[in-house]
């Protein structure tokens, strides 16, 4: 993962990937997970997503990991929480307040022991942020540190030759290659992106639920 690239995006406030509202696909499909109040949800590469606000408002415990300290500081500020900050490992800090824990650092340095138990993963912006060469390692690491927790996964699919990512195109075949050996995979929705991506490139947004075998 190109830490410099993402940190520069946040430093320059070039965060067009940050949605100004809760993702409607989360609202629509999260009930499929069947989680009860108090469940612990892991949001990899979380930025300052408003989806975290939504989880907290519904009584969930949220744990995330994010490269940019700027993003994490803004997240806590916008929620209205003052975090306790601790050093958890080399190049890894934890911002914690009430039901929200965010690790600041590279997800590949986050261990299962640091993460703790989670009941579900919500991946809207992580897999699509990674180039193909990194995705298999990411998927393997995610399964390892989460104990193969079930996932609600949102991906994009388009002709990668038309534009450079991120977000990168992730095909149906990719999903089955990364996760098919460990999860039952179901596509809940496949919808054309209104207006396309970055100048109108046709794209499809796919929503998946991954249940451990």
| Per-residue 3-state assignment (H helix, E strand, C coil) for 142-210 | HHHHHCCCEEEEEEEEECCCCCCCCCCCCCHHHHHHHHCCCEEEEEEEEEECCCCECCCECEEEEEEEE
Domain ranges in the chain?
3-12+25-212
Binding site as annotated, residues for S-adenosyl-L-methionine: 10, 45, 66, 124
The answer, yes or no, to whether residue 49 has pLDDT greater than 60, is yes
Q: Which residues, other chains included, contact 113 with Cβ-Cβ below 8 Å and sequence gap of 6+?
A: none
Q: Distance from first CA to last CA of the chain, Å, rounded?
A: 29
Superfamily for the 3-12+25-212 domain: Vaccinia Virus protein VP39 (3.40.50.150)
The answer, yes or no, to whether residue 22 has pLDDT greater than 80, is yes
The answer, yes or no, to whether residue 10 has pLDDT greater than 70, is no
Give the model confidence (pLDDT) of 101-143 as tens digits. 999 999 999 999 999 999 999 999 999 999 999 999 999 999 9
Place of tokens 């991506």: 197
Mean pLDDT over residues 169-194, rounded?
A: 97
Give the model confidence (pLDDT) of 73-97 as tens digits. 999 999 999 999 999 878 899 999 9
The answer, yes or no, to whether residue 14 has pLDDT greater than 60, is no
Place of tokens 């989680």: 35
The answer, yes or no, to whether residue 18 has pLDDT greater than 60, is no
Average pLDDT, the chain: 92
pLDDT of residue 16: 58
Task: Select the more confidently predicted residue: 2 or 112.
Answer: 112
Q: How many angstroms from the chain centroid is the CA of residue 40?
A: 14
Binding site as annotated, residues: 10, 45, 66, 124
The answer to whether 143 and 210 have CB atoms below 8 angstroms apart is: no
Pairing mode of beta strands 120-123, 40-44:
parallel
Pairing mode of beta strands 100-104, 120-123:
unpaired
% helix, strand, coil for the chain, step of 5: 35, 30, 35
Place of tokens 């499929």: 32
Q: Is 21 helix (H, G, I), strand (E, B) or coil?
A: coil
The answer, yes or no, to whether residue 9 has pLDDT greater than 70, is no
């Amino acid at each position: 993962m190109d830490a410099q690239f993402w940190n520069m995006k946040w430093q320059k406030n070039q965060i067009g990937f940050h949605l100004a509202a809760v993702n409607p696909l989360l609202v629509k499909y999260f009930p499929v997970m069947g989680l009860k109040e108090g469940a612990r949800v892991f949001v990899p590469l979380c930025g300052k997503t408003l989806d975290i606000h939504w989880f907290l408002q519904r009584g969930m415990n949220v744990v995330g990991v994010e490269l940019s300290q700027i993003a994490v500081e803004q997240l806590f500020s916008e929620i209205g929480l003052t975090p306790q900050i601790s050093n958890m490992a080399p190049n890894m800090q934890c911002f914690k307040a009430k039901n929200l824990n965010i690790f600041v650092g590279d997800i590949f340095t986050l261990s299962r022991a640091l993460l703790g138990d989670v009941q579900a993963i919500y991946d809207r912006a992580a897999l699509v942020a990674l180039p193909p060469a990194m995705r298999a390692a990411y998927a393997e690491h995610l399964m390892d540190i989460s104990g193969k927790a079930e996932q609600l996964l949102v991906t994009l699919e388009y002709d990668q030759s038309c534009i450079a990512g991120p977000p990168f195109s992730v095909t149906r075949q990719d999903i089955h290659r990364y996760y098919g050996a460990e999860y039952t995979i179901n596509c809940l929705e496949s919808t054309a992106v209104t207006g396309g991506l970055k100048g109108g490139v046709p794209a499809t947004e796919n929503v998946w639920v991954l249940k451990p075998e």
